[in-house]
Amino acid sequence: MLDINTIERLDKIATPFYYYDVELFHKTVDHVAELARAHDIKVHYAIKANVERRLLEYISSKGFGADCVSGNEVLHAHSCGFPAGQIVYAGVGKSDKEIYDAMMLGIEAFNCESLQEIFVINEMAHLHGVKANISVRINPDIDAHTHKYVTTGLYENKFGISNHEFDKLIEFIQKSEHINFFGLHFHIGSQITRVKEVFSLECQRVNEIVKYFESKGLTVKNINLGGGLGVDYDDPDGSPIADFETWFNAISDNIIRRKDQAVHVEPGRSLVAQCASLISRVLFVKSGETKNFLIMDAGMNDLIRPALYGAYHKIENLSAAQRSFFPTYQAYDIVGPVCESSDVWGAGRLLPLSVRGDLMAIRSTGAYGQVMASRYNMKDLAPSVFSDMLDEAPEAVDYFNLSFRS
């Protein structure tokens, strides 16, 4: 929960907007940087989680690399300070233009997800007289015990290369003259909360796969374990920083590596989710036959996760904290203004008695929030507001007290 002074300042800003707690963000990134040094693990930030320039510039300043899944992400990461030699480019569908641009930039490696993709990269590198580094994304068939829409490591998923193609893959790599085999890449899912169990199992399976590839004559110099560490959406104040210690310990305790092998991870959500809240205002309080509704000025166009995944975000009435220490509570369906029935923030949420104009915080929105926003219904995009730059934010306008000239 924000302090009263901050709430009073936020109440003067035009809504909706994304509020970034800069201090918490810095603490999170600094904590991961310290752990990475202690465990000798290389970190690539998965920038699909949030592409806000100020965040990326700070992350790159800590020596992290970037994990990108589109050509524009590659170019954006580079413009935010990530050296080309620390950018990896993943994703199941890279266009010829995207491959060419990344190749000419000189990125660290392409994380390849099909035999045909490797063939295309080899041919393009040949035509342009270069050698391209490739890592091969392997599908290890591990259940990450997370939402089906963010599970990526099962054989039934579209990601990675499965074991029935291993021998054909190895033979092609050994014959290709215009690619360098950089290593193996894995990513089993997102929002993983059974941290020790799942990531220990991943490492054990990775050990088996690395051993197989090396038995066939390929030296695996880089082992990229992907990301997936979850955050606490239920209690963001109780767990403001994700459990990176357990994640890194699970890796160090279970991965088998030589001194000449580098281990990489790709955190995204866990670095940025808790540092931001979507701040919105109650437009109307509406009483239905069986429900009470709070209609907000932020909608699924600003944050699509609840509509897309049924995702849960804690919602707080910031204004109520200023009115009473012992508020009366009521159940509300909290909804947005977009003309879709799925534009619902939460159903049956118990909140302090709320009124028109109340300031609301939708918590843990620093990941997959702004970056997935749209202008559906021709809504404006919610801007970023940083905790150390509140005076520069656009002020709210009281349209009932405007004076008009004829």
User: pLDDT value at position 404?
Assistant: 47
**Final residue of a structural domain among 247, 265, 283:** 265
In a domain, 148, yes or no: yes
- Asked if 319 and 12 count as a contact pair (C-beta separation under 8 A), the reply is no
Number of domains the chain is built from: 2
64 within some domain: no
Residue 382 DSSP code? P
Instruction: Tell me the sheet residues that pair with 223.
Output: 184, 263
Pairing of strands 87-89, 292-296: unpaired
Whether residue 297 lies inside any domain: the answer is yes
Interhelix angle 96-105/115-127, nearest 10 degrees: 60
| Of 241, 265, 289, the domain-final residue | 265
Q: Are residues 246 and 308 located together in one domain of the fold? A: no
Q: Which of 265, 285, 314 is the last residue of a domain?
A: 265
Are residues 349 and 206 both part of a single domain?
no
pLDDT at 403: 54
What pLDDT score was predicted for residue 406?
Answer: 33
Give the structural domain span for 349: 4-18+274-392
Residue that is written with structure tokens 């923030």 in the block = 345
Tell me whether residue 405 is in a domain: no
Q: Are 292 and 257 in the same domain?
A: no
**Mean pLDDT in consecutive groups of 10 residues from the start of the chain, 406 residues:** 90 97 98 98 98 98 98 98 98 96 98 94 97 92 51 50 87 94 93 94 94 94 96 97 98 96 98 98 93 97 95 96 82 97 96 96 98 97 97 91 52
Same domain, 250 and 294: no
Alpha carbon distance 102, 88 (integer Å): 9
Looking at residue 388, which CATH number applies to its domain?
A: 2.40.37.10
328 and 248 share a domain? no
Find residue 335's DSSP bridge partners. Answer: 295, 344
Tokens 């909706």 belong to residue: 16
d(CA 221, CA 232): 34
Same-domain pairing of 261 and 279: no
Three-state DSSP at 201 gives helix
> Is 290 in the same domain as 347?
yes
What CATH number is attached to the domain comprising 135? 3.20.20.10
Q: For 360, which DSSP code?
A: E
The reported pLDDT for the residue numbered 150 is: 39
- Number of Cβ within 10 Å of residue 76's Cβ equals 17
23 within some domain = no
SS3 content of the chain, % helix, strand, coil (to 5): 35, 25, 40
127, 204: one domain: yes
